[in-house]
Amino acid sequence: MSGDILRGVPPHAGSTAYINARIIDPTAGSEYTGAILISDGKIADFGPNLFASGAPYGIQSVDCRGFYLAPGIVDTRVHTGEPGEEHKETLESAAQAATVGGITSMVLLPDNEPPFDDASLIEFVARRARQIKLTNMYAYGALTVGLEGKELAEMGLLAEAGAVGFTDADHAVGNAQVLRRALYYAKAFDALIVHLPQEPTLSGGHMSSGLMATRLGLSGIPPLAEVMMVERDIRLVEMTGGRLHLAKISTAESVKVIAAAKARGLNITCDTAAPYFALNDLAVGDYRTFGKLVPPLRSESDRLAIVEGLKSGVIDAIVSDHRPQDQDSKRVPFAQAEPGGIGLETLLPVSLELVHNGHLTLPQLFKCLSSSPARLFGLPGGKLAKGAPADLVIFDSNYAWKVDRADIWSKTKNSPFDERPVQGRVMATIVGGRTIYRDDHFAPAAAA
């Protein structure tokens, strides 16, 4: 663990100028050397010519020393164990890991014990976020009561309490009539329905079907299980005119079908998680349970298709799909292991592989990591704009290191990227104008 959480440090009383930064503006699609001025927790000004000759007297300045400065990451798929399974992850430990990872806003999945199908639990998350005082926290409301896929939750009440979208997390809604009603009902208050496309009766295996599953003797989940549900959901959107966001797209066929639906003008968006463009089913290796995820890691051809989907803009956002599991859940035979992997601290460095390998530019990457997810869920951060929250990340795109579970801030260590060499490291995280994390390698010169 290399760095300090600075939760108790108040924001500077006046204005602060971040100078000598390589600024990434994902909305404008631009990258330039410049400065950002923060005042009262908001962005007051920014640009390539701002403070070109230095900050005026009386304004605190922070020399970014040529590091990149971008809108903070908005991660819209995070699971924690609080309430119900605090031994796996608490809201506080997740917030610390997010802070170290440059994530300034995260949206929490509702599949806790109890699930977020009651307004009091949405309010609980908001209250805990105010107490923890680190990254911004929002919550999904459950799409159905008890996440059982049978009866719609009280979506109106959950929305009033602050739910930013509705999902049953990793539970696919097999009943088309239920999802149809949800799409109709959500139109009344312009709510976003988020659905994981996995045909339930075909998804009972332990890894993706194919040569690797056969070699390991593990029951497979066919890629068809995803695209079948994608196609069904697209028809429901056509029928209802609702808004649908498809989560964790992992197959080539799904990318193709979603591209065609978007071309027809349907109100459909989607995301993928870092493992699906960075790993394939070979990462399961010798029954490596850290590689057991939902959906399962796919073939190399599917992985390449996800990269192409990001390049073409068919895939709108990248998420961590952070799902902590303790040792008792993972250090068991593969078929008995719980699926899921942590990802808050590795989201940025793993995603930067798309830039280092020439697939995306940095503004394009931060469109997927910051501006698009904030826009889709109606969140205030994720962009550079006058008056926007000063939620920012400073990072070194070239810093080489190796993921080591011993150094992870998250309470559990089940990273599918454990021992992976990566390139890119968060130097500082700023939320509402407050520097809440600073890496040991970043000691900016500051002077009034």
Kindly list the catalytic residues. 321
Is residue 419 within 8 A of residue 82, CB to CB? The reply is: no
Is residue 239 within 8 A of residue 180, CB to CB? The reply is: yes
Q: Which residues does residue 60 pair with via DSSP β-bridges, in sequence order?
A: 16
Q: What SS3 state is found at 195?
A: strand
Who contacts 183 (Cβ-Cβ below 8 Å, separation ≥6)? 193, 236, 237, 240, 241, 242, 243, 244
Element (H, E) at 365: helix 362-366
Which amino acid, 211? L
Q: Which two tokens stand for residue 406?
A: 């011993």
Q: Which two tokens stand for residue 34?
A: 């410049």
Cis check for the bond before 295: say yes or no (omega within 30 of 0): yes
User: What is the rounded distance in angstroms from the CA atom of residue 281 to the CA atom of residue 390?
Assistant: 39
User: What is the rounded distance in angstroms from the CA atom of residue 142 to the CA atom of residue 338?
Assistant: 21
Q: Which residues does residue 269 pair with via DSSP β-bridges, in sequence order?
A: 245
Sign, CA dihedral 311-365-224-300, equals positive
DSSP 142-198: ESBGGG-SSSB--HHHHHHHT---EE-TT-----HHHHHHHHHHHGGGTPPEEE---
Who contacts 141 (Cβ-Cβ below 8 Å, separation ≥6)? 110, 116, 117, 122, 153, 155, 158, 159, 161, 163, 165, 166
Backbone angles phi, psi at 106, to 5 degrees: -140, 145
Who contacts 109 (Cβ-Cβ below 8 Å, separation ≥6)? 77, 78, 79, 140, 167, 169, 170
Which amino acid, 42? K
Q: Which two tokens stand for residue 304?
A: 């390449």
- If you search the block for the tokens 């070699």, which residue do you land on? 215
Which amino acid, 348? L
Is residue 361 within 8 A of residue 386, CB to CB? The reply is: no
